[in-house]
C-alpha cells in the first residue's frame, strides 16, 4: 500500500505528506469515482484535490477534482506496471521516466546500454510490430562497415538525411557525404583521390544462378566489385542459390568493358540459342541481358582463361 495516515490532518501518498482538507465529499463525486474504477479516500491539499484509491491495484494517488469529473483519471501504479510489462515483452528493462517528456522513459537494453524510448514504441516492439536497435551498438556496426572499406565514420549527415553519413577516407583524409547503403555495398569512389570507373581497376566475372524453376544459368559481366555486384544489385532473393565462378582482374574499367563486350559478341555468334529470353529470370535477377543457359558455363570459363592469359602477358 502506498498510503499512510499518520494523523487526522495528514495523508501520505508515495512518501509525500499531503494535508487533509476539511469538507464534505459530494455523492456525485463518489459516483463518478466508482464509475471510473476508483474510491475516494478523502479530500487533500485544498478544495480542488482528492485522494483516489484504484480498485484494480489498490494504490492511492492525488487527483484534481476537475479531472475526476471531466475525464478518466489514470492510475500511475497501473501505468508503471504496464510500462514494465511492455519493457519485458520488448526485451528491455524499465529504468525510470524521462522527467523532460511525459511520453518517454529510459530503459536498459539487452546489450547493457541505456536507451530513451517512447512508451508507445516500446509497446509496439513488444507486440512485434517493429524492432529494437541500440544506437550505441549500431554506431559501432556502422564504424566497422566504414573501416572495411578504408573509411572512418565521422558524423551524421549535416542535412539531417538519415540515409547519409559523413565519412573520412583513411588513405587521403578526404571527408565525403556518402549513403550508408553505398558504404555497405562499396559502390562509390573517393572524391579526393579516387578514380571514375573507366580508369579504376575492375574485373570481368562469371556468376552462376539457380532460378526458381530449377534451371541453371550463367552471367558474364564486369564490375569494380563483383561481390558487391552480386550481393547488393543482382540477387533479389537472399535465399537464391548463386555464386561467383571466376573473376579476372583488369587494369581499368574501360579495359574490362571492352573485353566483356568482345566475349558477348563471340558467344552470341557461336551459341545464339544459349542467350536466354529475359522473361526466364525476370523478377529474380536485376539485369536485362547477359544471361546464358548454364550449359554454356565451360565455354565462358574458357574465354576467361584466355582473357586472363592475355591480360597477364600484357
- Confidence category of residue 307, pLDDT binned at 50, 70, 90: very high
Q: SS3 for 193?
A: coil
- Mean pLDDT rounded to a whole number for the chain: 90
- Residue 115: the pLDDT is 93
Torsion of CA 19, 20, 22, 26, to 10 degrees: 130
Section 47-64 average pLDDT: 93
- State yes or no: pLDDT of 5 exceeds 80: no
Beta-sheet strand order (sheet of 16-19): 3-7, 10-13, 16-19
- State yes or no: pLDDT of 196 exceeds 70: no
Is the model more confident about 194 or about 288? 288
Could you tell me where the DSSP H helices lie in 97-150? Answer: 119-126, 135-148
Q: Tens digits of per-residue pLDDT, 119-160? A: 999 999 999 999 898 988 988 899 999 999 999 999 988 888
- State yes or no: pLDDT of 61 exceeds 80: yes
Q: How far apart are CA 68 and CA 50, in angstroms?
A: 9
Is the model more confident about 174 or about 87? 87
Q: How far apart are CA 262 and CA 170, in angstroms?
A: 37
Domain boundaries defined on the chain: 3-74, 77-126, 135-185, 202-313
% of the chain exceeding 90 in pLDDT = 68
- State yes or no: pLDDT of 4 exceeds 60: no
Q: What is the pTM of this model?
A: 0.51
DSSP state of 260: H
- State yes or no: pLDDT of 39 exceeds 90: yes
- Confidence category of residue 21, pLDDT binned at 50, 70, 90: very high
- Residue 250: the pLDDT is 92
- Residue 85: the pLDDT is 95
- Residue 198: the pLDDT is 65
Could you tell me where the DSSP H helices lie in 3-61? Answer: 27-35
All three cell numbers of 20, joined, read 487533509
Section 265-269 average pLDDT: 93
To the nearest 10 degrees (0 to 180), the angle between helices 76-89 and 119-126 is 50
Q: How far apart are CA 259 and CA 277, in angstroms?
A: 23
Beta-bridge partners for 106:
96, 116
Q: Tens digits of per-residue pLDDT, 281-294? A: 999 999 988 899 99
What residues have CB less than 8 Å from 36, skipping those under 6 apart? 68, 72, 73
Amino acid at each position: 500500500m502506498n498510503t499512510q495516515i499518520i494523523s487526522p490532518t495528514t495523508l501520505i501518498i508515495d512518501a509525500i505528506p499531503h494535508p487533509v482538507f476539511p469538507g464534505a465529499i459530494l455523492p456525485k463525486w463518489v459516483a463518478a469515482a466508482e464509475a471510473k474504477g476508483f474510491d475516494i479516500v478523502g479530500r487533500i491539499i485544498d478544495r480542488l484535490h482528492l485522494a483516489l484509491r484504484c480498485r484494480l491495484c489498490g494504490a492511492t494517488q492525488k487527483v484534481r477534482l476537475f479531472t475526476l469529473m471531466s475525464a478518466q483519471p489514470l492510475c500511475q501504479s497501473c501505468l508503471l506496471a504496464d510500462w514494465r510489462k511492455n519493457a519485458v515483452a520488448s526485451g528491455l528493462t524499465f529504468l525510470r521516466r524521462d522527467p523532460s517528456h511525459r511520453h518517454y522513459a529510459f530503459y536498459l537494453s539487452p546489450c547493457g546500454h541505456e536507451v530513451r524510448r517512447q512508451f508507445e514504441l516500446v509497446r509496439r516492439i513488444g507486440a512485434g510490430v517493429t524492432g529494437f536497435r541500440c544506437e550505441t551498438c549500431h554506431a559501432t556496426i556502422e564504424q566497422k562497415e566504414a573501416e572495411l572499406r578504408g573509411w572512418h565514420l565521422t558524423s551524421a549527415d549535416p542535412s539531417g538525411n538519415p540515409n547519409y553519413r559523413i565519412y573520412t577516407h583513411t588513405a587521403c583524409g578526404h571527408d565525403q557525404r556518402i549513403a550508408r547503403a553505398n558504404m555497405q555495398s562499396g559502390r562509390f569512389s573517393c572524391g579526393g583521390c579516387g578514380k571514375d570507373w573507366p580508369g579504376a581497376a575492375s574485373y570481368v566475372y562469371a556468376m552462376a544462378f539457380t532460378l526458381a524453376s530449377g534451371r541453371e544459368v550463367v552471367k558474364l559481366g564486369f564490375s569494380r566489385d563483383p561481390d558487391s555486384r552480386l550481393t547488393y544489385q543482382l540477387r533479389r532473393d537472399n535465399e537464391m542459390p548463386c555464386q561467383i565462378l571466376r573473376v579476372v582482374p583488369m587494369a581499368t574499367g574501360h579495359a574490362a568493358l571492352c573485353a566483356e563486350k568482345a566475349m558477348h559478341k563471340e558467344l552470341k555468334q557461336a551459341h545464339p540459342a544459349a542467350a536466354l529470353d529475359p522473361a526466364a529470370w525476370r523478377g529474380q535477377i536485376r539485369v536485362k541481358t547477359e544471361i546464358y543457359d548454364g550449359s554454356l558455363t565451360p565455354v565462358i570459363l574458357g574465354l576467361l582463361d584466355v582473357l586472363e592469359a592475355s591480360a597477364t602477358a600484357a
